[in-house]
A and B are shown apart, each in its own frame.
Chain A
Amino acid sequence: MTAPVRLSDFENAIADALPEGALLDELMAKGLPHRRVEAWKWTDLKTVLSRFPAEAGEVILHASREPDAVAKLEREPSMIMPRLAAALGGDCAVYELADGETLNLDFIGSATGHRIVSVTVPAGVEAVLHESYQGGKGSFANIAVNITVAEGAKLTRVIEQNAMPNSALVVTSGLSLGPEASVEQTTLGFGAKLARLETHVLHSGEGAKLSMNGAYVLGEGLHLDQTSNVRHAGPNGETDELFKGAVAKGGRGVFQGKIHVERAAQKTDAQMQHRGLLMDAGAEIDAKPELEIYADDVICAHGNAFGAIDEDALFYMRQRGLDEASARAMLTCSFLAEPIEKMNHEGLREALLERLTDRLETL
Chain B
Amino acid sequence: MLEIKDLAARVETEEGDGRQILKGVTLTAPKGEVHAVMGPNGCGKSTLSYILSGRDGYEITGGGATLVGADLLDMDPEERAANGVFLSFQYPVEIPGVPTLTFVKEALNAQRRARGEDEVTAPVFMKQAREAAAKLGISNEMLKRPVNVGFSGGEKKRMEIFQALMLEPKLLILDETDSGLDIDALKVVAEGVNALRSPERSMLVITHYQRLLDYLKPDVVHVMADGKIQATGGPELAHELEREGYDKYVGAAA
A residues adjacent to B (C-beta < 8 A): 310-313, 315-324, 326, 330-331, 333-335, 337-338
Residues of B within 8 A of A (CB): 53-56, 76-78, 80-82, 85-87, 89, 92-98, 103-104, 106-108, 110-111, 114, 146, 163, 167
Could you tell me if A324 and B97 are in contact, using CB atoms closer than 8 angstroms?
no
Query: Could you name 13 residue pairs across A and B whose Cβ atoms are closer than 8 Å?
Result: A315-B77, A316-B89, A318-B81, A319-B81, A319-B86, A319-B89, A320-B104, A321-B81, A322-B78, A322-B107, A334-B97, A334-B98, A335-B96
Task: Pick the contact of B108: A321, A324, A326, A338 (CB < 8 A).
Answer: A321
Assess the A321–B82 pair: CB atoms within 8 A.
yes
Interfacial chain A residues near B97, Cβ < 8 Å = 333-335, 337-338
Given contacts A322-B78, A323-B78, A324-B76, whether A317 and B107 have CB atoms under 8 Å apart is: yes
Task: Assess whether B167 is in contact with A334, with CB atoms less than 8 Å apart.
Answer: no
Residues of the B chain whose Cβ atoms lie less than 8 Å from the Cβ of A313: 93-95
In the complex the two chains form, is B96's CB within 8 Å of A334's CB? yes
Closest chain A residue, CB of each to CB of B166: A320
CA distance A333 to B98 in the complex (A): 9
The number of A-B residue pairs with CB atoms under 8 Å apart is 75
Shortest C-beta distance, B181 to chain A (Å), equals 20
**Contact A319–B98 (Cβ < 8 Å):** no
Alpha-carbon gap, A321 to B54, bound state (A): 12
Chain B residues whose CB sits within 8 angstroms of the CB of A331 once the complex forms: 95, 98
A322 to B167, CA, bound (A): 12
Nearest B-chain residue to A326, judged by Cβ: B110
The residue that A322 contacts in the complex, of B85, B92, B106, with Cβ under 8 A, is: B106
> B74 → chain A, closest Cβ, in Å?
15
- In the complex the two chains form, is B92's CB within 8 Å of A316's CB? yes
Chain A residues with CB under 8 Å of B87's CB are 319
- Check B76–A316 contact: CB distance below 8 A: no
A311–B111 Cα distance when bound, in Å, is 21
In the complex, chain A residues whose CB is within 8 Å of the CB of B107: 317, 320-322
CB distance A334 to B110 under 8 Å?
A: no
Give complex CA distance A77, B210 in Å. Answer: 76
In the bound complex, how far is the Cα of B104 from the Cα of A333, in angstroms? 17
Which B residues are in CB contact (< 8 Å) with A333? Answer: 97
Given A315-B56, A326-B106, CB of A321 within 8 Å of CB of B95: no
A324 to B89, CA, bound (A): 19
Among B56, B94, B103, the residue within 8 A (CB) of A320 is: B103
Chain B residue numbers with a CB within 8 Å of A319 are 53-55, 77-78, 80-81, 85-87, 89
The 4 closest A-B pairs by CB, nearest first: A334-B97, A321-B111, A321-B81, A318-B77
Q: Which of A319, A321, A335 has the most CB of B within 10 A?
A: A321
17 A-B pairs besides A318-B54, A331-B98, A335-B96 with CB distance below 8 A are A311-B56, A313-B94, A315-B55, A315-B77, A316-B92, A317-B107, A318-B78, A319-B54, A319-B77, A320-B104, A320-B163, A321-B78, A321-B110, A322-B106, A323-B110, A334-B95, A334-B146
CA gap between A341 and B15 in the complex, in Å: 42
Known: A315-B77, A334-B98. A322 touches B110 (CB 8 A): yes
A313 to chain B, nearest CB (A): 5
State in angstroms the CA–CA spacing of A337 and B146 once bound together.
13
A330 to B53, CA, bound (A): 21
Q: How far is the CB of A268 from chain B (nearest CB, A)?
A: 30
Interface centre among A319, A330, A337 (most CB of B within 10 A): A319
Residues of B within 8 A of A326 (CB): 106, 110
If A315-B55, A321-B110 touch, does A330 touch B81 (CB 8 Å cutoff)? no
CA distance A337 to B110 in the complex (A): 23
For B167, the chain A residues whose CB sits under 8 A away are 320-321
User: Is the pair B93, A316 in contact by a Cβ cutoff of 8 Å?
Assistant: yes
How far is it, in angstroms, between the C-alpha of A324 and the C-alpha of B55 when the chains are bound? 12
